[in-house]
A and B are shown apart, each in its own frame.
Chain A
Amino acid sequence: MVKLKLGYPEDPDYQERLEEFEARIARGEKIEPGDWMPAEYRRQLIRMISQHAHSEWVGMLPEGAWITRAPSIRRKLILLAKVQDEAGHGQYLYHAAETLGITREEMVEALLSGKAKYSNIFNYPTLTWADVGIIGWLVDGMAIKNQTMLAQCSYGPYSRAMVRICAEETFHHKQGKEAVLLYARGSKKQRQMVQDALNRWWWPTLMMAGPHDTDSPHTPLLLRWGIKTKTNDQVRQEFLNEHVPELLDAGLTIPDPDLRYDEKTGNWIHGPIPWDDFWKVINGEGPMNRHRLMARRRAHEEGRWVREALEAYGKRRLAQAAD
Chain B
Amino acid sequence: MWGTEWPRFEVIKQDTKHGPPQMVGSVHAADPEHALLVARHVFVRRPAAYALFVAPAEAFFHVSQEGLKDLKPTRREGGSEEPYWVFAKRSHRRSMVYGDLVGRFLAQGPEDAIAQALLQAQGVAFWAVPERLVVGTEPTEEVVESWFAPAKEKTYRLQSYYGLITAKGVEND
- Which of A30, A105, A152, A250 counts the most chain B CB atoms within 10 A? A30
- Stretch with Cβ within 8 A of A (4 or more), from B80-88, B110-118, B140-148, B158-166: B158-166
Q: Is residue B14 within 8 Å, beta carbon to beta carbon, of the partner chain?
A: no
Could you say which residues of chain B place their CB within 8 Å of the CB of A175?
A: 156, 162
Q: Is residue B62 within 8 Å, beta carbon to beta carbon, of the partner chain?
A: yes
Could you say which residues of chain A place their CB within 8 Å of the CB of B8?
A: 98
- Whether A246 contacts B167 in the complex (CB less than 8 A), given A104-B28, A314-B34, comes out as yes
Chain B, range 1-20, C-beta contacts under 8 Å to A: 1, 4-6, 8
- Whether A314 contacts B155 in the complex (CB less than 8 A), given A104-B5, A163-B96, A246-B167, comes out as no
Chain B, range 25-50, C-beta contacts under 8 Å to A: 25-31, 33-34, 41-43, 45-46
Could you say which residues of chain A place their CB within 8 Å of the CB of B6?
A: 311, 314
Q: How far is the CB of A33 from chain B (nearest CB, A)?
A: 7
A-B contact count (CB 8 A): 127
In the bound complex, what is the Cα–Cα distance between A118 and B43 (angstroms)?
23
Chain A interface extent, by class: 35 or more
In the bound complex, what is the Cα–Cα distance between A251 and B43 (angstroms)?
39
Taking a contact as CB atoms closer than 8 A, the residue among A1, A81, A91, A313 that contacts B57 in the complex is A1
- B154 contacts A81, CB within 8 Å? yes
Could you say which residues of chain A place their CB within 8 Å of the CB of B92?
A: 28-30
Q: Is residue A49 within 8 Å, beta carbon to beta carbon, of the partner chain?
A: no
Q: How far is the CB of A17 from chain B (nearest CB, A)?
A: 10
In the bound complex, what is the Cα–Cα distance between A138 and B72 (angstroms)?
53
Q: Which residue of B lies closest to A89 (CB)?
A: B42
Q: Is residue A44 within 8 Å, beta carbon to beta carbon, of the partner chain?
A: no
- A182 contacts B155, CB within 8 Å? no
Given A34-B63, A175-B156, 12 new contacts (CB under 8 A): A1-B57, A1-B58, A2-B64, A35-B65, A77-B154, A81-B155, A88-B42, A91-B27, A160-B96, A163-B96, A246-B167, A314-B34
Query: Which chain A residues have a beta carbon within 8 Å of chain B's beta carbons?
Result: 1-2, 5, 28-30, 32-36, 74, 77-78, 81-82, 84-85, 88, 91-92, 95, 98, 103-105, 151-152, 156-157, 159-161, 163-164, 167-168, 170-171, 174-175, 177-178, 181-182, 184-185, 246, 249-251, 310-311, 313-315, 317-318
